[in-house]
Every structure is written in structure tokens, then in C-alpha cells.
């Protein structure tokens, strides 16, 4: 692995909420095109770690780099340096984030949801942004829903629009935060299918997930987190069938 | 007819009442125009001031939060009449020069001093109330909406302008409508500092012919006309804002009567 291909690098990321330390020094690096699935019991810090990568939460210590650019707060000689509003926005712009609860904008149509960021953030002309948004909606199988408001879409459709919205910024990396956990069972498949396709097309992805079938199929690497630390990582094969770590074994035995 | 209180009980003079409503007196029409533009300008400035105060209340800088808090505390805790007097008379005392001269030209329009002071006082008063309404509107929008905007690379400012405020507007418009309704009626307080609006006009006529019931009933009618027109406009605004939403806004009759049709189960 050459360092030029490094998309994400985190070193010793620590995060506390009050007195409770949620992340106890997480280090994880990813190369271009890699798909990492993070698994682990609830409360293990998976979602918080994902939110820290996208600077939706400030970290207390450690470093995060995306495409070689530092993200979020930096700690130097005991001083905290916060990026400005605009710097923070630029850093997040390299990443896509897919939320558990979709968070589509209800006052905008599917097409407007997808085209908004290219127009506002990248300054793309409206016509061009709409054409691109249509292509992205077609890619997630929702070309016919372009003029629907989110309130008229099913959960699975909303999440696919949300994925198209994330793709519209042409991110180097997409973070999926339990993207299928809020869906009815019959809609999980359609969203996972889009994610599998993205993975196959070479998108770099971090997926916090409880879908072990998906992790097995799509992940290049599975990371097991427990109590704010990475307890084990390896190929899906190593984690799901050959793990000797008692915490991994205990977690898997509860959910499989 | 015996009259133990020494007041002459007279019949309602319908002719006077209608002549006051369909008046041809030019002072009245001038006063009506004053009432309307003072209300509109004060509400507009008050809403803008309220928006900035709401944002200041949410600022990450403590100084802004404290200043906004003190402003709201002070204005909401004192009577608006006192504020009007304070601005009109007090401003000149404090500043040592005439802040509100007898007349002033702004953008080619001529305002009298009292009108100017009245607009300033009512705007400041309104800003404090609007800030609470706007703050509540902003806070009613799920934080996930902002996070989604940040995640695609918008700044906090862009997220507020493009994502949060348009949605908060729907929550803000109904109470804003109430505020403007109060504003129209509240302009009558400016008669205290000599602004010639419709209540002042009614008082002037009353002081000449002492027919309080007819004259004040007629001016009440005119306030009712203004607030009813505003009610119609508000329904249109809410329709337009709610176009993308599945929930129907209240119809005009529901709003005026304050009732919703009951569904029989």
C-alpha cells in the first residue's frame, strides 16, 4: 500500500462526552477503493467514531486525515485549534455521510435534495447540477421519483436519495451510519444492493452496520469495536469464522 | 327620560357611525395610510431585528448571547407605551441633540419626528417578541437537518439559510401573523406622542362632537377591516409555504373562528 493511495488516516482518536470516554484511541487507515465495515455492540463508539471522521463531533485528542488533509480540531502543545466555519465545511465536503434516519430535506424534492450541495457548495450551474442529479437518481433506481418530496417516499427510497445526495459531492469517501437500521425489513435489500454496487465500483466506504451478510459480501476488512477501542480487525473470513478473540466471539454469538 | 348620572342617554346615531366609516375627510385617509405603513415598516424591521437577535441568542460567543438576552429581558418586561415615550423623549435627552426632529427625509420620503420615533420604538419592541418566535422556530427543526447540510460541505451559515430557516418559516408564520395583527392595533398607542393615525383621528373628531360610541365603533370597524385583510394575506402565505407539505393549512374561516371541523368518528 503506497501512501499516495491513503484516503483516511486516523491516529489515537479520543472522544469523551462529559466524564464518559466513548473513544479510547482509535487508529484506522484506509486506501482508495477499500470497504471497511465496523461492527460491535451498541455503545461501543462506532457511530461516534464515524461522526468524528466527518467532524460532526470534535475530537479531544488524536488526528484525522482525509486525502492527506487534517480534519476538525487539532491539538498542538496543549492548545486547541478549531477550523473556521468555511474550513470545516471544505473538510466535510471531501466526505459523504449517510445517516441512519436519512435526514433528507423535506422542503425540497428528491432532485433538489441531490442538486443542492453541488449548486451551493461547488458552484455548479443549476442546469448542469440537475442533469447530474438525474443521473445519480437513475443510478440508485429512482429516476421516476425526481419530483417527489421526501414525505411521499418510502424509507428505502429516502435512503437511496440520501446516498445519491452524498455521491453528488463526488466524495473521496462515504461514511454509512447504520444506513439500514431505521428501515422496514422489506426495504433493507434495496438499500444494501445500492451499497454493494457502490463498493463494486470502487468507492471507498466505511460502514457501521449490523448487517453481517453485507459485511461478509462487500467488506475488504471488518473492524470489531468494543468499549471505545478496536478489539480486532481482519478480513470477513478471519472475523466471522476464525476469530479467537473472546469479545468478538461473544458479540457474534449473540447476533448470528 | 330620567338620567340620575347626569349623562344624557342617547340613541346610537347610525348616521354618524356610517358617515365615519365611509368618510370623505382627508385627515382620516391620511391617518389610515399612516397606520398601515407604520405597522408594515415596524413589523418588517422588528422581524429582521428578531432574526438577528434569535441568531445572537444561539451564537457561540457569550457576549452576543448576553446582549441579546438583556435586550429581550428589558423589552419584554416593560410596557410598550413606556418604551414609546422613552424613545421619543428620552433619546433626545440622552443624546443631547434632536434624534427625532419635527420632520426628516429618508430615501426621498418625508417622515414626521413622532412617526419616526414610533417606528423605531415599535420595531425594537417587536424584535424582542419576534426573536423568541424565530428562536423557537429554528429549534423546532431537527438537528439532523443541519448535520445533513454540513455533511455535504455547507457552512453553518449556508445550512441555516438554505435548510433550517426555510423550514422554520412555516412554523414562524402563524405566530408572526398574530404579531402583525397586534402590531396593527398597537399603532394606536402612537397617538400618545402625537402621531396622526386613525385612533388619533377618532380622538380629534370626538373632542369636537362628543359622540364616543359612534366614533370609536367606527374606528374599531376600520381596525377590523385591516386585520381581516391581513388574515386573508396570511392564509395565502401559509398555503404557499406549505405547498410541499402533506398537511393542509387552516382555512380562513377556521382561523377566524378558531375552530377546526370536527371529524365524526
More confidently predicted of B79 and B96 = B79
At B90, is the pLDDT very low, low, confident or very high (cuts 50, 70, 90)?
confident
- As a whole number, the mean pLDDT across chain B is 85
Domain ranges, residue B38: 14-256
Domain presence at residue B228: yes
Chain B contact probe: residue of A50, A89, A115 with most B CBs at under 10 A: A89
Tell me the percentage of chain A whose pLDDT exceeds 90.
91
Lowest-confidence pick of A59-63, A139-143, B94-98: B94-98
Contact residues, B window 176-215, toward A, CB-based 8 Å cutoff? none
More confidently predicted of B64 and B108 = B64
At B14, is the pLDDT very low, low, confident or very high (cuts 50, 70, 90)?
confident
CA within 13 Å, CB half, B263: 1
At B136, is the pLDDT very low, low, confident or very high (cuts 50, 70, 90)?
very high
Query: What angle do the packed helices A85-93 and B143-151 form, to 10 degrees?
Result: 70
At B2, is the pLDDT very low, low, confident or very high (cuts 50, 70, 90)?
low
> Distance between CA B240 and CA A155 in Å, rounded?
26
ipTM: 0.93
User: Cell numbers at residue A65, please?
Assistant: 486525515
How many of the other CB atoms lie within 10 Å of CB of A143?
14
Domain presence at residue B231: yes
Per-residue confidence (pLDDT) for residue B249, from 0 to 100: 44
pLDDT at A61 > cutoff 60: yes
For the segment A16-29, the average pLDDT, to the nearest whole number, is 95
At B16, is the pLDDT very low, low, confident or very high (cuts 50, 70, 90)?
confident
**B154 vs A121: CB contact, 8 Å cut-off?**
yes
Domain presence at residue B2: no
What does residue A81 show for φ and ψ, rounded to 5 degrees? -110, 115
Lowest-confidence pick of A44-58, A148-162, B89-103, B236-250: B236-250
**A107 vs B150: CB contact, 8 Å cut-off?**
no
Name the 3-class secondary structure at A61.
strand
Chain length of chain B: 265
Domain presence at residue B8: no
Name the 3-class secondary structure at B201.
helix
- The alpha carbon torsion through B180, B183, B185, B191 (nearest 10 deg) reads -160
CATH code for the domain of B190: 1.10.3720.10
At B9, is the pLDDT very low, low, confident or very high (cuts 50, 70, 90)?
low
For the segment A127-145, the average pLDDT, to the nearest whole number, is 96
Domain presence at residue B264: no
Size of interface A-B (CB pairs under 8 A): 81
**B245 vs A106: CB contact, 8 Å cut-off?**
yes
User: Cell numbers at residue A52, please?
Assistant: 468524528
Domain presence at residue B169: yes
> Distance between CA A11 and CA B248 in Å, rounded?
52
Give the model confidence (pLDDT) of B26-73 as tens digits: 788 889 999 999 999 999 999 999 999 999 999 889 999 999 999 999
Domain presence at residue B5: no
When divided into structural domains, chain B yields a total of 1
Residue B155 CA: distances (Å) to CA of A21, A99, B160? 28, 18, 9
For the segment A75-101, the average pLDDT, to the nearest whole number, is 92
A160 in contact with B, Cβ within 8 Å: no
- As a whole number, the mean pLDDT across chain A is 94
**A107 vs B244: CB contact, 8 Å cut-off?**
yes
Selection from A201, A198, A159 nearest residue A178 by Cα: A159
Q: Which residue of A has its CA nearest to B244?
A: A107
* CA B149 to chain centroid: 33
Tell the burial category of A241 from Cβ atoms under 10 Å away from its Cβ (0-12, 13-18, 19+). Answer: exposed
Strand partners, A78: none
B155 in contact with A, Cβ within 8 Å: yes
pLDDT at B95 > cutoff 90: no
Per-residue confidence (pLDDT) for residue A201, from 0 to 100: 94
More confidently predicted of B29 and A176 = A176
Amino acid at each position: 500500500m503506497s501512501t499516495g493511495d491513503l484516503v483516511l488516516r486516523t491516529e489515537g482518536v479520543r472522544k469523551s462526552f462529559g466524564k464518559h470516554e466513548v473513544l479510547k484511541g482509535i487508529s484506522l487507515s484506509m486506501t482508495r477503493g477499500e470497504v471497511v465495515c465496523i461492527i460491535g455492540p451498541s455503545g461501543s463508539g462506532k457511530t461516534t467514531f464515524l461522526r468524528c471522521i466527518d467532524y460532526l463531533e470534535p475530537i479531544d485528542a488524536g488526528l484525522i486525515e482525509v486525502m492527506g488533509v487534517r480534519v476538525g480540531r487539532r491539538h498542538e502543545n496543549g492548545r486547541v485549534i478549531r477550523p473556521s466555519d468555511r474550513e470545516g465545511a471544505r473538510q466535510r465536503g471531501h466526505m459523504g455521510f449517510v445517516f441512519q434516519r436519512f435526514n433528507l430535506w423535506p422542503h425540497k424534492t428528491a432532485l433538489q435534495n441531490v442538486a443542492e450541495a453541488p449548486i451551493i457548495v461547488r458552484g455548479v450551474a443549476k442546469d448542469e447540477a440537475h442533469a447530474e442529479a438525474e443521473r445519480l437518481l437513475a443510478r440508485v433506481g429512482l429516476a421516476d421519483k425526481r419530483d417527489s418530496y421526501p414525505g411521499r417516499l418510502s424509507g428505502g427510497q429516502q435512503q437511496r436519495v440520501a446516498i445519491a445526495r452524498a455521491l453528488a459531492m463526488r466524495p473521496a469517501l462515504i461514511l454509512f451510519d447504520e444506513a439500514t437500521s431505521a428501515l422496514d425489513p422489506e426495504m433493507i435489500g434495496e438499500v444494501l444492493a445500492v451499497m454493494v454496487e457502490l463498493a463494486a465500483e470502487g468507492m471507498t466506504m466505511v460502514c457501521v452496520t449490523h448487517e453481517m451478510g453485507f459485511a461478509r459480501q462487500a467488506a475488504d476488512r471488518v473492524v470489531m469495536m468494543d468499549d471505545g477501542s478496536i478489539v480486532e480487525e481482519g478480513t470477513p473470513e478471519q472475523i466471522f469464522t476464525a476469530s479467537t478473540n473472546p469479545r468478538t466471539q461473544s458479540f457474534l454469538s449473540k447476533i448470528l | 327620560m330620567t338620567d340620575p348620572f347626569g349623562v344624557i342617554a342617547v340613541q346610537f346615531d347610525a348616521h354618524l357611525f356610517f358617515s365615519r366609516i365611509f368618510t370623505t375627510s382627508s385627515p382620516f385617509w391620511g391617518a389610515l395610510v399612516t397606520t398601515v405603513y407604520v405597522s408594515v415598516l415596524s413589523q418588517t424591521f422588528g422581524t429582521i431585528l428578531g432574526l438577528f437577535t434569535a441568531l445572537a441568542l444561539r451564537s457561540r460567543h457569550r457576549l452576543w448571547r448576553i446582549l441579546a438576552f438583556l435586550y429581550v429581558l428589558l423589552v419584554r418586561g416593560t410596557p410598550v407605551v413606556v418604551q414609546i415615550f422613552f424613545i421619543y423623549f428620552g433619546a433626545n435627552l440622552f443624546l443631547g441633540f434632536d434624534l427625532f426632529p419635527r420632520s426628516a427625509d429618508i430615501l426621498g420620503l418625508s417622515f414626521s419626528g413622532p412617526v419616526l420615533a414610533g417606528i423605531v420604538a415599535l420595531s425594537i419592541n417587536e424584535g424582542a417578541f419576534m426573536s423568541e418566535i424565530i428562536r423557537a422556530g429554528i429549534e423546532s427543526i431537527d438537528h439532523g437537518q443541519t448535520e445533513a447540510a454540513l455533511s455535504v460541505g455547507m457552512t453553518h451559515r449556508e445550512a441555516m439559510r438554505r435548510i433550517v430557516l426555510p423550514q422554520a418559516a412555516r412554523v414562524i408564520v402563524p405566530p408572526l401573523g398574530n404579531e402583525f395583527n397586534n402590531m396593527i392595533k398597537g399603532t394606536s398607542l402612537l397617538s400618545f406622542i402625537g402621531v396622526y393615525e386613525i385612533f388619533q383621528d377618532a380622538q380629534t373628531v370626538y373632542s369636537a362632537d362628543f359622540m364616543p360610541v359612534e366614533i370609536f365603533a367606527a374606528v374599531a370597524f376600520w381596525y377590523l377591516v385591516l386585520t381581516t385583510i391581513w388574515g386573508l394575506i396570511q392564509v395565502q402565505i401559509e398555503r404557499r409555504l406549505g405547498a410541499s407539505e402533506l398537511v393542509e393549512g387552516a382555512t380562513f374561516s377556521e382561523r377566524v373562528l378558531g375552530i377546526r371541523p370536527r371529524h365524526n368518528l
